[in-house]
Chain A
Amino acid sequence: MKEEIIKADVLCIGGGIAGLMAAIRASELGAKVVVAEKGNALYSGRGRAGNDHFWCYIPEVHGPDITSFMKECLKGPKLRIIQAGTSMSVLRTFMERSFEIVKLWDDWGIPMKHGGQWEFAGHSFPGEVLTHLKYQGRGQKRVLTEKALEKGVTIINRVMVTDLLRHGDRIVGAVGLHTREEKVVVFQANCTIVATGVADRLYPSPVPGWMASTPNCLTLTGDGRAMTYRAGGIIVGPESPRRHMGPRYFSRYGQATWIGVLRDPHDKPVGPYVTRPDRKYGDMTMEVKSGILEDFMKSGRGPVYMDCRGIIPEDYDYMMNAFVDEGLSSLMDHMKEEGIDLRKNPVEFGTYHITSEGKIWINEKAETSLKGLYAAGDESIASIGPSATYGWIAGENAAAAAKNAPAVDIENVRSDIEEKKNVVREIVSRKEGADWREANVALQQVMQDYAGLVRSETLLKAGLDYLRRLRSKARRSLVARNRWELTRCLETLNLLDLGELVLLSANERKETRALHNRADYPLTDPMLDGKALYVRNVGGVPTFEWRKTE
């Protein structure tokens, strides 16, 4: 098998928002930086087609008291859930530095102002502090990719990094696979930053048998978390489920981009916050309870519609423009083709499938629990503002550390590299067996039925047995006809490891909290307030610990 060895001071795994920001910062501080991207950095990650809300703290808008601003931000359950497990000191550091990033992006050509002003809208309760800057992110990936290249970063597209390489207590590089050519790529790096995004494809998406009905890119399979876990790094809170809502079946993010009211079939608002389309606040009902639409359907009171009727012409234009910024142009094309006019036609919304909220633990400097390894973006602190800011912070600290880090010859971990190559060899040499989709669907049904909306010790333990059996079978029988299918196989193997983490940690959380619903432990245990579940692989054994998140 052909092998290419690439040496760098800093390796960024993933060329999304966080990976590119990390690369730009590390490179301008003098490090030799390589980005390994599974797709193409121009259009990869959750920010690939654009975003329109940037969570940030701007003192001239929000006042000098950052502590009270943070409290306001965490009032909404959505932000609380997606930031669960992230320590308050990390969140605070993000806040403190977010304005710096906003100004940088504006300088680089990502318009962060409307009419020359900082405009805050959406993701906030009526009359309360506005937390998200409205911006025009449709071209953000191109701007960041070009900026990275301008700073001397090497971007290697079409490489899926599959495992970190650990020598003693230090991460010294990573091994990956070219997704189109018959080649293994080995990276030797003084410091590595994982930024591979969210973990989707773990639970079935809203359209039965149709994986493309998800608001996430289909290649976001939590690769970074899986490899960090396998290397012995701490993962926080994989048991916490997260759900989103948006257009039913045509699943997309951007709920705050819609200026409308969620209404039942009798036109009655389903939430208490707005009765008319409100450009400033939107309908926060979605963020308070993402499962509300499902409740309406199950009880026969549905369906529920996003109703923009009554929107004033100026706000309609503003919303349509924001759809493009948020990366929803295909949805707009579809509406146009179907003759759907949001000024007249309410569009049905639905609750989406579960994604796991487990994150790679980081400290304020974006260091993980493993020496030489940093993490940024959705896999350590979720959403666009934090991803951009913590990418920058990770790049800054990794570049500084790389200067003093010992260069470890990758040949020291040759046996690990050969082991990874063997996994690939076995899959491609098999003539018959299960393809990636079979294994992925089998995993999804276990997750849905045994670690889904209702959980209990009996369900979780049975699910764990089934998953382990499935994984061992998948390892022995997966087949791939080409590199594309091989990439999907390796993603599915990562998902099998992450699924195991969810089942194990869901069993450890013996209480009901947010969307983690334990039939056998219905109480929310106050003893667990302000604590998160830390999971670590110690010599192949999953080890759990409750720690305070302050």
Chain B
Amino acid sequence: MPPIIDETKCIQCGLCVDVCAEDVYYGSKSGETPVVTYPDFCYHCNCCVKECPAKAIRLRIPLPLMLLYKEGECDIR
């Protein structure tokens, strides 16, 4: 569940912890790779993704929120 932090890229700067309105990283310790304590409270706003200077965060959209779409039969109507 979102967000997912790539530990090999994370520089432990804590910016993601700092900006999240929902505070999903609550309890993360300074100088360590953040923990996603409340993943299902993530609103998927992308704020942490945008803030991360190491591009170490991506969001995984949970299955119930997947966009529903259909294959288009024609390109131009």
A49-B47, A345-B72 known; A309-B77 Cβ under 8 A = yes
Decide: A309 and B64 in contact? CB cutoff 8 A: no
Q: How far, in whole Å, are A59 and B74 apart by their CA atoms in the complex?
A: 43
Most buried by B among A210, A330, A335: A330
Given contacts A330-B45, A333-B46, contact A44 B67 (CB under 8 A): no
Cα–Cα distance between A179 and B27 once the two chains are bound (Å): 11
Tell which of A212, A305, A346 touches B42, judged by Cβ atoms closer than 8 Å: A212
Q: Judging by beta carbons under 8 Å apart, are B68 and A249 in contact?
A: yes
A507 contacts partner chain B, Cβ-Cβ < 8 Å: no
Query: A249 and B66 in contact (CB under 8 A), knowing A218-B43, A330-B46, A334-B61?
Result: yes
Q: Which of A113-121, A237-245, A336-344, A371-379 contacts B (4 or more CB under 8 A)?
A: A336-344
Contacts of A484 in B (CB 8 A): 23, 26-27, 37-38
Q: Which of B46, B49, B66 has the most CB of A within 10 A?
A: B46
B72 touches A346 (CB 8 A): yes
Partner of A212, one of B26, B41, B50, B74: B41
Q: Is B7 an interface residue (CB 8 A)?
A: no
Q: How many residues of A contact B (CB 8 A)?
A: 50
B20 within 8 A of A: yes
A142 to B41, CA, bound (A): 23
**A43 and B47 within 8 A (CB):** yes
- Given A43-B20, A218-B22, the answer on whether A249 and B59 have CB atoms closer than 8 Å is no
Total chain B interface residues with beta-carbon distance under 8 A: 37
Measured CB to CB, the closest approach of chain B to A43, in angstroms, equals 4
Residues of A within 8 A of B44 (CB): 212, 250, 330
**Chain A residues positioned under 8 Å from B59 (CB to CB):** 330, 333-334
In the bound complex, CA of A483 to CA of B38 (Å): 13
Which residue of the partner chain B has the closest CB to A276? B77
Main secondary structure, interface of A, reads: loop
CB within 8 Å: A-B pair count:
134
Residue B4 is within 8 A (CB to CB) of chain A in the complex = no
Nearest Cβ on chain B to A249's Cβ, whole angstroms: 5
In the complex, which residues of chain B have a beta carbon less than 8 angstroms from the beta carbon of A334?
59, 61, 66-67
Shortest beta-carbon distance from B62 to chain A in Å: 8
> Is A344 a contact partner of B72 (Cβ separation < 8 A)?
yes
Q: How far is the CB of B61 from chain A (nearest CB, A)?
A: 5
Is the beta-carbon distance between B41 and A211 smaller than 8 angstroms? yes
Q: In the complex, are the beta carbons of A217 and B45 less than 8 A apart?
A: yes
Chain B nearest CB, measured from A378 CB (Å):
15
Known A-B contacts A213-B64, A330-B45; the reply to A42 vs B69 at CB < 8 A is no
B72 touches A250 (CB 8 A): no
Q: Report the bound CA distance from A345 to B59 in whole Å.
A: 22
Task: Select A247's contact among B18, B21, B67, B75, beta carbons within 8 Å.
Answer: B67
> Which 10 A-B pairs give the minimum distances between C-beta atoms?
A39-B21, A348-B68, A43-B47, A344-B72, A330-B46, A484-B26, A345-B69, A330-B44, A207-B64, A329-B46
B interface residues, Cβ below 8 angstroms from A: 18-23, 26-27, 37-38, 40-47, 49-50, 58-59, 61-62, 64-72, 74-77
26 of the cross-chain contacts (CB-CB < 8 Å) are A39-B21, A42-B19, A43-B19, A43-B21, A43-B47, A180-B26, A212-B42, A212-B65, A217-B22, A218-B21, A219-B21, A249-B64, A249-B66, A250-B61, A303-B68, A309-B74, A310-B75, A327-B45, A329-B46, A338-B69, A340-B67, A345-B70, A347-B69, A348-B68, A484-B26, A487-B23
